[in-house]
Chains A and B, each alone.
Chain A
Amino acid sequence: EPEVTQTPSHQVTQMGQEVILRCVPISNHLYFYWYRQILGQKVEFLVSFYNNEISEKSEIFDDQFSVERPDGSNFTLKIRSTKLEDSAMYFCASKVGRLKETQYFGPGTRLLVL
């Protein structure tokens, strides 16, 4: 069964460093998402991406964040200058099309900012 994959599974970085989290969505999916979950808190929406542009973003997704689909398979989340409060699990998700709401999630990347 096709699944969303994410790399790395764990990332430790120093405050102020840039990190890139990578996702490979399910191959025929056209809509892509990033969510995050701070330890012990709810899963929060960050951004959605379709047709090579952001379609929706939350207040969390400020100028420090960016997303990109650099090729036909990868979908990346970049944090330009990490802060301690960026420590969280980051989940990528994808879905087939606009009217197919079922989003499928990857296993997540655990980011720790020191």
Chain B
Amino acid sequence: DAKTTQPTSMDCAEGRAANLPCNHSTISGNEYVYWYRQIHSQGPQYIIHGLKNNETNEMASLIITEDRKSSTLILPHATLRDTAVYYCIVTHNAGNMLTFGGGTRLMVKP
């Protein structure tokens, strides 16, 4: 699976949009971009995934660049409960294990 690079930490003001970047310059054509988050020591929570088109669900939006070498997870109106570590994972759809990196620690501040 392709390696990803994320900033170690980010801050966001409550109510503002949180934009979390991820670089995956070695992504191959059949690899998906997945985002999970982990609040404190809870189990990783699935957020969203995409292949090449932008995606939106009730939690977030995922913007993937045209060359697919990077993506951005957008939390449109961050709340204090969105404080977590966010993981960007690139994997084949038929792959088995998920490889977690260090993620981005997002701190939402009042």
A: which residues have CB within 8 A of B? 4, 31, 33, 35, 37, 42-45, 48, 55-56, 58, 89, 91, 93, 98-108, 110
Q: Is the CB of B98 within 8 A of A103?
A: yes
List 11 interface pairs A-B (beta carbons < 8 Å), by A numbering: A31-B96, A44-B100, A45-B99, A89-B41, A91-B43, A91-B44, A93-B98, A101-B94, A102-B34, A102-B46, A105-B45
Q: Is the CB of B43 within 8 A of A42?
A: no
Q: How many residues of B contact A (CB 8 A)?
A: 24
Q: In angstroms, how far is the closest chain A Cβ from the Cβ of B21?
A: 19
List which B15-56 residues lie within 8 A (CB) of chain A: 32, 34, 36, 38, 41-46, 49
CB-CB nearest in chain A for B43: A105
Please pick, from B43, B94, B99, the residue contacting A99 in the complex, using a CB distance under 8 A.
B94
Confirm or deny: B95 has a beta carbon within 8 angstroms of a beta carbon on chain A: yes
Q: In angstroms, how far is the closest chain B Cβ from the Cβ of A112?
A: 13
- The distance in angstroms between the C-alpha atoms of A31 and B98, with both chains bound, is 13
Q: Is the CB of A33 within 8 A of B34?
A: no
Given the complex, which residues of B lie within 8 Å of A93, measured CB to CB? Answer: 43-44, 98
- The distance in angstroms between the C-alpha atoms of A98 and B91, with both chains bound, is 13
